[in-house]
Amino acid sequence: MSQHHRGPWAHPETGAPVRWPSGDGDGGDALLWWEGLPLLVPGAEDFAARHLGLGHGLARVEWLPVDAPDPVTPHLSPRARAPAGPLRALAEGLRDPAEVCAAWGADFAPDGPLIDVGCGLGTLARRAALDVAQGERSGPVLAFDRSPSMVKLARSSVQDGDQAAFAPAGRRRLAPWPEALPPLPAGAVEWAVGDALRPPITRGSAAWVHLGNLLDMVPEGMAALLEAVTPLLMPGGLLTLSTPFDEDATPLWAAGPSAEAELSAAYEALGLHLVAEEDPVYWLIREYDRGFRLLLCRCLALRKPLARAPRARPVSGAPGR
């Protein structure tokens, strides 16, 4: 019986490859779906009840936070994001963290699957899918986020680029945007709801994993997140990340290592090697239609070493030695 083939998705609990339903009556694995998105989170039924009001007859829907006010802004250049005036002059020529990381992926990642972890609006996934469409990478491109509404928004802005040229702009307005996004065909990015700490991806399958501004959003800490995603990389695979290091937690007086030192210690402990680094990379975020945030990010490209070939054992008494 034919299996519908997709990227290296795995069950977050068993790690086994996901069997997708195929058109010929095979239901595949009994996955939970929401709005056409597979819920590849641990305890999917409880998650769906808690966050989406599915099953159990629960009426209350607990939305996970969506850290972006509209479906277009992150896909625009910083210049197009800023209104005319001094802010636009400042943003002129700036490179986004996603742009910096995408360039490293193109230069340093081996060919193969890209995983955009905590994809938000899928800014990096969209760039990589465009590269795949132009024959520069073979793909596939996979993107997941723990927030179902975020993944839904990402899918619609990447797949229906033209429609997303009108963005909800706060104060019940729709704002037209200066650059229309070219829409990508359905399937150019494979979307799912998933948790970065229990990633629904087969270990050792990813040529390139991207963590865009996620390190400081996971209460379990940077080391826990890196420990969860590093095993997804194939030998020689690339991990790109950007982070402003700013947490929303209440600041406490504490003498500990700096966030930079904590990050370096975490990736070194996992055997990752630094390939490239840029700091600061300016991240201009439009907040609704009258506010902006400028964050200073650190961007890193890290490589998982190639597996060493086992040393040949000397053969004692071999002829011709």
Ligand X SMILES: C[S@@+](CC[C@H](N)C(=O)[O-])C[C@H]1O[C@@H](n2cnc3c(N)ncnc32)[C@H](O)[C@@H]1O
Answer yes or no: are the C-beta atoms of 38 and 192 closer than 8 Å: yes
- How near is the Cβ of 310 to ligand X at its closest, in Å? 36
x/- site string to ligand X, residues 252 to 281, per CB under 6 A? ------------------------------
Which residues make Cβ contacts (< 8 Å) with residue 121, sequence separation at least 6?
A: 68, 71, 74, 75, 150, 153, 154, 157
- Closer to ligand X by Cβ: residue 202 or 213: 213
218 binds ligand X (CB under 6 A): yes
- Sites for ligand X among residues 90-109 (CB under 6 A): 98
Phi-psi region of 150 (alpha: psi -120 to 50; beta: other; left: phi over 0): alpha
x/- site string to ligand X, residues 196 to 215, per CB under 6 A? xx--------------xxx-
- Closer to ligand X by Cβ: residue 26 or 35: 35
- Closer to ligand X by Cβ: residue 127 or 137: 127
**Alpha helix ranges (H) inside 185-240:** 222-229
- Closer to ligand X by Cβ: residue 76 or 309: 76
- How near is the Cβ of 319 to ligand X at its closest, in Å? 59
Whole-angstrom Cα distance, residue 75 to residue 63?
Answer: 23
Q: How many CB atoms lie within 10 A of CB 74?
A: 23
- How near is the Cβ of 242 to ligand X at its closest, in Å? 7
74 binds ligand X (CB under 6 A): yes
Q: Compute the C-alpha angle 250/254/259, nearest 5°.
A: 80
142 binds ligand X (CB under 6 A): no
CA nearest to 211, candidates 236, 199, 229: 229
- Sites for ligand X among residues 143-202 (CB under 6 A): 145-147, 150, 195-197
Q: How many CB atoms lie within 10 A of CB 236?
A: 15
- Closer to ligand X by Cβ: residue 215 or 272: 215
Whole-angstrom Cα distance, residue 44 to residue 271?
Answer: 32
Residues that bind ligand X (CB under 6 A): 64, 67, 74, 98, 118-120, 123, 145-147, 150, 195-197, 212-214, 217-218
